[in-house]
Amino acid sequence: MITRRNFTAGAATLLAAGHISTRARAATANWDMSTVWPDGNFHTQNAFAFAEEVKKQSGGSVNITVKAGGQLGFKGPEHLRAVRDGLVPLADVLNIQQVGDEPFMGVESIPFLCGSMDELKVLHKYVRPEYEKVAARNNQKILYIVPWPTQYLHLKVKVADVEGLKNIKIRVPDKNAVDMLAVVGMAPVMIPWGETIPALASGAVSGVSTSAVSGVDGKFWEFLKYIYPTNHVWSSQMLTVNLDSWKALSSDQQKLVADIAAKMEPGFWANSLKADVDSLNRLKEGGMEVIPVSDAMMTDIRSKTAPQLDAFLKRVPAADKPVRAYLAEMKRG
């Protein structure tokens, strides 16, 4: 016989079971992560390693599937917005390509602001809190940040001075690089990575400003001949997660994922340095030649681009304090 008491108890049991089931579902996250870089790129390899460690330590309750090579259809400059709007829960965001939405993200592309990865670490001490603010107001959280290694000019022609760079059509990744290379007389064109190789193949550009790592990704030896180690700008990839997706995790899961990211980030920076050495060797094996940039040429480039520091700080007031603090620590203030 079903009594009111039995019915109530049974209903309560079913309701409790429903809550448990709901909690179990909420505790399992299956996230796609978007990146434009191919499987072999060190940033993508970092992402694979991070995803594997998160899955392992979370017991499979947080599963990240890395979608490399632009599989999800997002171009690099679209990643900040894609994560912001929840179109994808995670993305590997190239900071300098987001300046249309967030000008501060271009701070690392101030010409010659940093001369080495060690100097970049000091800069990050001051700018990372601002990066975190940018992410937060775009409905996302930064899990880790990893820089690209030193930058090169990859060209078809051999040049000895700034005059030789005049009117060379060169692909650049962001607006600040357009301004910089235009000042030295080149004809820069802002092109997302996914469209760079077609631009080289068609002859739309005859040079690329990027790292040796990207040079290997794009098999530049098929199109270009010379590499100039100008080390003119820096940039970083930021793995960000949509805040709504993040808040769906339990506090324990959040701490686990954040701790893994923090622990792995220094190793990812080391991977960047190694990738530069390995990639430069691969470009040379492919037939490209590294041309040392003369002191006179570097002095000329630095002189022509020097006004861009103050121009950036004037255009992006939020960058003034952290950049000047960095310059003071480097005794360049």
| AA letter at 219 | K
The reported pLDDT for the residue numbered 175 is 87
SS3 category, 154? strand
pLDDT tens per residue across span 171-181: 998 888 899 99
The reported pLDDT for the residue numbered 333 is 66
Whether the CB-CB separation of 69 and 295 falls below 8 Å is answered with no
Among 8-22, 23-37, 55-69, which range has the highest average pLDDT? Answer: 55-69
CA dihedral (115, 118, 119, 121) in degrees, to 10, reads: 140
Cα angle 151, 218, 79 (rounded to 5 degrees) comes to 75
pLDDT tier at 308, thresholds 50, 70, 90? very high
CA nearest to 329, candidates 124, 138, 142: 124
Residue 27: is its pLDDT beyond 50?
A: yes
Select the more confidently predicted residue: 11 or 327. 327
Whether the CB-CB separation of 238 and 93 falls below 8 Å is answered with yes
Residue 232: is its pLDDT beyond 90?
A: yes
pLDDT tens per residue across span 80-125: 999 999 999 999 999 999 999 999 999 999 999 999 999 999 999 9
Beta strands in the chain (DSSP E): 29-34, 62-67, 90-94, 140-147, 151-155, 169-172, 187-190, 207-211, 226-228, 236-242, 289-290
pLDDT tens per residue across span 236-284: 999 999 999 999 999 999 999 999 999 999 999 999 999 999 999 999 9
Q: What percent of the chain has pLDDT over 90?
A: 89
The reported pLDDT for the residue numbered 176 is 87
Burial of 153 (0-12, 13-18, 19+ CB in 10 A): buried
pLDDT tier at 16, thresholds 50, 70, 90? very low
How far apart, in whole angstroms, are the C-alpha atoms of residue 12 and residue 16? 6
The reported pLDDT for the residue numbered 3 is 45
The reported pLDDT for the residue numbered 1 is 46
The reported pLDDT for the residue numbered 45 is 98
Please name the residues in contact with 284: beta carbons below 8 A apart, sequence gap of 6 or more: 290
The reported pLDDT for the residue numbered 17 is 40
Domains of the chain: 29-330 (3.40.190.170)
Residue 49: is its pLDDT beyond 50?
A: yes
Whether the CB-CB separation of 269 and 149 falls below 8 Å is answered with no
